[in-house]
Amino acid sequence: MISVLGAGAFGTALAAALGARGPVTLWGRDIAWWPANPRLPGVTVPGSVTPTDDLGRAAQADTILLALPAQALGGFLAQHGAALAGKRLVNTAKGIDMQRLTGPSALIADACPGATVALLTGPSFAADIARGLPTALTLACTDPDAGAALQARLSTPVLRLYRTTDVTGAELGGALKNVAAIAAGAVIGAGLGDSARAAIITRGFAEMTRLATHLGARPETLTGLSGLGDLTLTCTSAQSRNFRFGQALGAGAEFDSATTVEGAATAQALARMALRDGLDLPIATMVARLAQGGVSVEKAMDHLLSRPLKEE
């Protein structure tokens, strides 16, 4: 049995995709919208997916996908982690916890004793997955046997999973690309053009790789789906909430405050990590200031462009 915890757009999309293979339970605090999630217009969840607001019922599954916002995950686990002990838990959140400055996998491992912890990440939009459009993702698990079992369990004809044991690299790739996407959106919103966006993508990738390898990731992981693939998608599509948020910042426009923008919180965490570890993360640091209103887009770009010239 498979359960998905979190009935937002991504959790609903995953439940719909996995429901094509068999029964799935989808848990959410508010599922009055069933079966048509307003965040996924035109998508009807298949009958093989059972909705519930009873967490105990959903926690009976042996394989549980956690589709919760990164900054909400710690609080959820503090309250419910014991109920998930010993399960196969697959995180889908992309971010760094602002309190502990760590990724979701460490939070899950600490809160859920005996659980097998894995990560599902990569270039994907909820709407594409929900509509059955071809999508390739990374399934990361430090236990290769458990990873192989989850890969077989969660793959579908249109949802193709590639396996890795580098959880650190896959997790950081998914988190850091959101920060670069905000910067890319700001560049476009400010009318600075696609060449400037390409520069942000390239230098953002360099920052991602620098931090991830510093924390023990394998460089080749960052060149895969969970790094470069996700970065490319998120920095070039208006479907990305992080890109749209940056675009609004760049244009001086309003942005829906109810929309979750993981990259804004992750940028704050990265700025603190840069100070703690003495790392050079200029884009992440500037996005942190930009998202908090501490600097204008013009001054942020002036600062980045006035940095000392150096080798690539």
Tell me which residues are annotated as active site. Answer: 177
Strands 116-121 and 24-27 turn out to be unpaired
Structure tokens at 219: 């460089």
For 173, residues 6+ apart whose C-beta sits below 8 A from its C-beta are 121, 208, 212, 221, 222, 224, 226, 227, 228, 230, 231
Among candidates 270, 146, 160, which has minimal Cα distance to 208?
Answer: 270
SS3 28: coil
Q: How many CB atoms lie within 10 A of CB 153?
A: 17
| 268/286 Cα distance (integer angstroms) | 10
Among candidates 71, 62, 164, 81, which has minimal Cα distance to 120?
Answer: 164
Cβ proximity of 169 and 141 under 8 Å: no
